[in-house]
Amino acid sequence: MSWVWTDVFSHPLWAVSTVILGLLLRSQQRGSWDIRACFVQLKGKTAIVTGANTGIGKFIALDFARRGARVIMACRSEARGSAALQEIRKRSGNANVHLRLVDTSSLASVRAFVEGVLREEKELHILVNNAGASGLPGDITSDGLEVSFATNHVGPFLLTNLLLDLLKRSAPARIVNVSSVNHWRGMVNFSHFKGENLAYTMDSVYNHTKLHNIICTNELARRLQGTGVTANSLHPGVVMTEVMRHYNFLVRFLFNLIGIFFFKSSEEGAVSTIYCAVAEEMEGITGKYIDSDCSLVLPAPLARDPALAVKDFEFCERLTSKL
């Protein structure tokens, strides 16, 4: 009786074993910190979450709302933001959740958003820079910046720095920057910010921006020592979100197909961010990189270079001051 190797994959046991393996791998991604066992309340606290209308950001905002915080959802789309706003208010029972529009790829939009926050808010205790995108086609923004760098790093960098005084006045306060394990495949080349010397292969540009996130977070933490404001970065895990929406259909199809078995849901992916933002274990901890299981781990060597961190931070300061 003849057979071919493809018969193995058509056997029912193959599908069953794949599902079991996937469930085992996903169970291993969960850390020891149990979000349901964290009873920290945020009543009287104000939190900003960028990219809060979908994916990880929406579950972060929902968690903060359930804890009683005043939540500002910083979103690019008014329609999608409004829908998420209504859902979060209903599910949390907290009416003190508000939508403010911002497009982090536009520095003018970031400045306008911050002006509104400073005009309307007396305190800010948690800032979560979650908004980001992967696979954006190569383009240059009106500010002269490569669009992925503007969206994922320069815009959030400016937003954070413009809010620092308010955060300091509200201390203790926490800054949480969502990065990615993909930063290990990133590199630092300052010409990238202007769209030069970039190869648009899969997620390479995204990887570079995520490395810059961690480098600048570490330098920001050093500068904030003694202020009562902490700054940390994290990896949320490999998550089924819309971060892949700019890739072609085949890539998205394969990503989602594999993800059914192996990747985290958006709700699971929000856990490490929430841990950094509210957990008592993170009180006073700053300049660290947290893995998807809420453990403290070392980032890539480039992200641990203090001289490079100073250079990177100062470069971004000069860049945003001119725009």
Mean pLDDT by runs of 10 across the 323 residues of the chain is 43 45 46 89 98 96 98 98 98 98 98 98 98 92 98 98 98 98 97 96 92 98 98 85 49 47 70 98 98 97 98 98 84
Helix (H) or strand (E) holding 250: helix 249-262
> Distance (Å, rounded) from C-alpha 278 to C-alpha 154?
25
> Distance (Å, rounded) from C-alpha 190 to C-alpha 319?
11
Beta strand 126-129 with 173-178 is: parallel
| Sign, CA torsion 156/157/158/161 | positive
Which pLDDT value is given to residue 27?
A: 43
Type of residue found at 306: P
Which pLDDT value is given to residue 42?
A: 98
Q: At what angle do helices 107-120 and 155-162 cross, to 10 degrees?
A: 20
Let me know if 131 is exposed, middle or buried by CB neighbors in 10 A (0-12, 13-18, 19+).
buried
275 is catalytic: no
- Dig out the tokens for 14 from the structure: 């193959």
Q: What is the DSSP letter of 121?
A: -
Which residue among 206, 247, 275, 289 is the active-site one? 206
Which pLDDT value is given to residue 32?
A: 75
> Distance (Å, rounded) from C-alpha 30 to C-alpha 6?
34
- Dig out the tokens for 170 from the structure: 């509200």
Which pLDDT value is given to residue 229?
A: 98
Residue count of the chain: 323
